[in-house]
Amino acid sequence: MTTHETLKKYFGYDTFRNGQQELVDAILAGRDTLGIMPTGAGKSICFQIPALMSSGVTIVVSPLISLMKDQVNALTQLGVAAAYINSSLTERQIDKALQNASNGLYKLIYIAPERLLTAEFLFFAQNAEISMLTVDEAHCISQWGQDFRPSYAKIPEFVENLPKRPLLSAFTATATPRVRSDIVNLLALNEPTVLVAGFDRPNLYFEVKRPKDKLAALSSFLEHRKEHSGIVYCSTRAAVEDVCEHLKLSGYNASRYHAGLSDKERHENQDDFLYDRVQIMVATNAFGMGIDKSNVSFVAHYNMPKDIESYYQEAGRAGRDGEPADCLLLYSGKDVRTNLWLIENSKDVEYSDKETEAALKERERKRLREITSYCKTNDCLRGCILRYFGETASENCENCGNCNADFELTDITVDAKKILSCVVRMKERYGSNMLIDTLRGSKNAKLLRFGLDKLSTYGISEKSESQLRDIINFLILSDYLSKTDGEYPVIRLGVRANEVLRDGAVVTMKLNHEEHATKAQAKKQTVLKNVDSQLLSQLRELRLAIANEQNVPAFVVFHDSTLIDMCMKTPVTRDELLDVSGVGQVKLERYGERFLGVIAEFVGKNGAGEGDLGTPKTFDGSTIEPSAEAVTVTMVADILNCALLESGYTKTTGQRINEWLVSQGYMENIEINGKNHRSPTEEGLNLGISTEECVIRGENVSVNKYNQDAQRLIFVHALGILGVK
């Protein structure tokens, strides 16, 4: 099978995204690789496809439990056998997973870095055929990255302990050269193919606002997004509580997530968001790394994050499905002070010595200055981000708040001269508040005490406070002024001050006139106009029903973009359904008939098709293709129902199938801890019904699985189970 065929068969996609093909090819050519792609660009497929196409198992080192769980969940849905090993499993479950792995059952195993060197994992790895070791979120190995994790340092030691060095691939969204070279050196990548995919995410609409009342600004942003799912990030737990409360009182279906909540509540709230039971998640940055919820249609930052890397990673959680999505950042000066405090007082990182600490903290302050510039600029926001990541960008992307704002290029030379002269006369000793007060002739007691009212520039400006603040910010960004760091920043002349004061340079600035509705909003409406919203909502209902049956989030069944594509293509046959983006072979088998059923009925009612369901046709259970792997009873019912519905019969349920198996002696009802369970009898075990332990929502539960023989027996007796025969 070619790489394209694998992409289509498993993932249902027709084309690779930017950079994916090159990375897949490099890995398949046996080269170590480093893939640098923005969040949401599609890194996983770059190692999953080679993993599927190679013999042996791919070990994926991943820093977060939730991320592993999501990826394994998604792979299982695609019909790929995968497992994870981390602290959420019991020792028994880990033993079982490793035993399965040793028997060659999995194509991918996700593991937390702390577990690599445990005796049992090492033993497994030393005896297994390992096609590749993939390091996800590879920047965690670098002290210079934003999420340094000391446990990543164990990876090279693990590799050295293997009898044969496997191929290595590493992936990250962090692009700074220092982190990049750390990854290559610390992981000892062997002449790697390094690919930096474009950092642009064209479907994301960026916007920054500097409102006086952030809650009001957030409410008006959400007003237009009542139907959509999104995340609101806050920098502190207290802000999460306040904002969440406010949204709930305003009638939004919101939940919260931060490190101060119990594990149980965090889990539940996260699941509620993933499973679309709540619409908005208000959270600190503890939420989201590894959250691959594809239908997040906005990410609003209530506070400015600490750097552009973090911002782009968090904002990048919007629009993973490729649909237009909005990223709003609400800025205030207080955000800068909070972040400076966090840099000074953070207990998260242990520094090797004082010198490194000083250097790293200065680095963090520099990053903070850069995101502050992003929040203050009137230039293209996308351009600002892309240039930060070392890419070239056009002056105007026409898809961000600044490019769409009603700016007018205004000559501000006179204002600039007044401000710069005032700074000189204030002997470069005061902050921006005092500067503004002096320019506006305020009677502020402190100002009078310092004698600033005696300066010739006192009361020289007629501009409003906020206009002056904007102009001063602009003069700082353009190096006409500078601002010192620290708790009480002071405004001084910048390196270009003399261009204005002496050389008579003309200074122009974009000034905002009016706020405009976001372009993404308009685009979203166009997308929805082209599809029938009634059909879309019926498909969404079906997706939700399937997701509930399977206990997985709705987007794991199909992305929104896939449902939208179904609405546009209205497929009638299985082949046509395969043409829909996001429908691969396994999902076609599992869900195809049910989705085709809804579409056929809709098309029928609307006059375009036959809609010939209803009269029972002949039914032959032996022709139904069972799933190759052992599956749950819900899945057996799913496969069976597709055939039953096609032949005009009503559906059955997992419950009814199990009752029938009990009546036939293959299963029995037993009581454990006061609860009723169904367990295979000896005869059931012989037939191919097995019981597996697994963890669902933190609880150990036993799940019965039915192999091909058991499925066949059920299919052949389907009409009997329905009570028709």
List residues near ligand ADP by CB under 6 A: 13, 16-17, 20, 37, 39-45, 292, 294, 320
The residue (of 361 and 569) whose beta carbon lies closer to ligand ADP is 569
- The number of residues making up the chain comes to 725
In terms of phi and psi (left: phi > 0; alpha: psi -120 to 50; beta: otherwise), the region of 451 is left
The residue (of 20 and 339) whose beta carbon lies closer to ligand ADP is 20
The residue (of 40 and 63) whose beta carbon lies closer to ligand ADP is 40
The residue (of 402 and 562) whose beta carbon lies closer to ligand ADP is 562
The residue (of 70 and 364) whose beta carbon lies closer to ligand ADP is 70
Min dist CB 579 to ligand ADP, Å, is 14
Which residues 6+ apart lie within 8 Å of 591 measured at CB? 546, 557, 558, 638
Q: How far apart are the first and last CA of the chain?
A: 44
Min dist CB 682 to ligand ADP, Å, is 43
Give CA angle at 230 (332, 235), nearest 5°. Answer: 35
The C-alpha atoms of residue 331 and residue 301 are separated, in whole angstroms, by: 8
Min dist CB 320 to ligand ADP, Å, is 4
Amino acid at position 670, single letter: I
Min dist CB 228 to ligand ADP, Å, is 17
The residue (of 377 and 561) whose beta carbon lies closer to ligand ADP is 561
Min dist CB 197 to ligand ADP, Å, is 9
Instruction: Please tell me whether residue 166 adopts helix, strand or coil conformation.
Output: coil
- C-alpha distances (whole Å) from 482 to each of 51, 429, 477, 510 are 52, 12, 8, 20
The C-alpha atoms of residue 41 and residue 44 are separated, in whole angstroms, by: 9
The residue (of 320 and 587) whose beta carbon lies closer to ligand ADP is 320
Give bridge partners of residue 255 from the DSSP assignment: 281
Backbone angles phi, psi at 579, to 5 degrees: -75, -15
Min dist CB 330 to ligand ADP, Å, is 24
The C-alpha atoms of residue 466 and residue 481 are separated, in whole angstroms, by: 17
Min dist CB 632 to ligand ADP, Å, is 24
The residue (of 44 and 482) whose beta carbon lies closer to ligand ADP is 44
The residue (of 17 and 149) whose beta carbon lies closer to ligand ADP is 17
The C-alpha atoms of residue 23 and residue 673 are separated, in whole angstroms, by: 52
Min dist CB 663 to ligand ADP, Å, is 43
* Residue that has been written with the tokens 């790697």 in this structure: 192
Q: How many CB atoms lie within 10 A of CB 291?
A: 20
The residue (of 553 and 688) whose beta carbon lies closer to ligand ADP is 553
Q: Helix (H) and strand (E) counts for the chain?
A: 32, 21
Give bridge partners of residue 280 from the DSSP assignment: 230, 254
The residue (of 192 and 288) whose beta carbon lies closer to ligand ADP is 288
Min dist CB 290 to ligand ADP, Å, is 9
Six token digits for residue 553: 């989030």
- Cβ atoms of 75 and 69 within 8 Å: the answer is no
Min dist CB 561 to ligand ADP, Å, is 8
The C-alpha atoms of residue 102 and residue 120 are separated, in whole angstroms, by: 11
Helix (H) / strand (E) containing 193: strand 193-196
Min dist CB 33 to ligand ADP, Å, is 14
Min dist CB 246 to ligand ADP, Å, is 30
Which residues 6+ apart lie within 8 Å of 342 measured at CB? 235, 306
The residue (of 339 and 561) whose beta carbon lies closer to ligand ADP is 561
- Cβ atoms of 582 and 559 within 8 Å: the answer is yes
- Cβ atoms of 497 and 428 within 8 Å: the answer is no
- Cβ atoms of 53 and 28 within 8 Å: the answer is yes
Min dist CB 383 to ligand ADP, Å, is 22
Q: At what angle do helices 237-249 and 214-223 cross, to 10 degrees?
A: 50
- Give residue number: closest CB to ligand ADP: 42
- Cβ atoms of 49 and 8 within 8 Å: the answer is no
* Residue that has been written with the tokens 């496969």 in this structure: 639
Min dist CB 181 to ligand ADP, Å, is 21
The residue (of 320 and 519) whose beta carbon lies closer to ligand ADP is 320
The residue (of 470 and 565) whose beta carbon lies closer to ligand ADP is 565
The C-alpha atoms of residue 560 and residue 8 are separated, in whole angstroms, by: 18
Min dist CB 349 to ligand ADP, Å, is 24
In terms of phi and psi (left: phi > 0; alpha: psi -120 to 50; beta: otherwise), the region of 86 is beta
In angstroms and rounded to an integer, the radius of gyration of the C-alpha atoms of the chain is 30
The residue (of 174 and 404) whose beta carbon lies closer to ligand ADP is 174
Helix (H) / strand (E) containing 546: helix 533-550
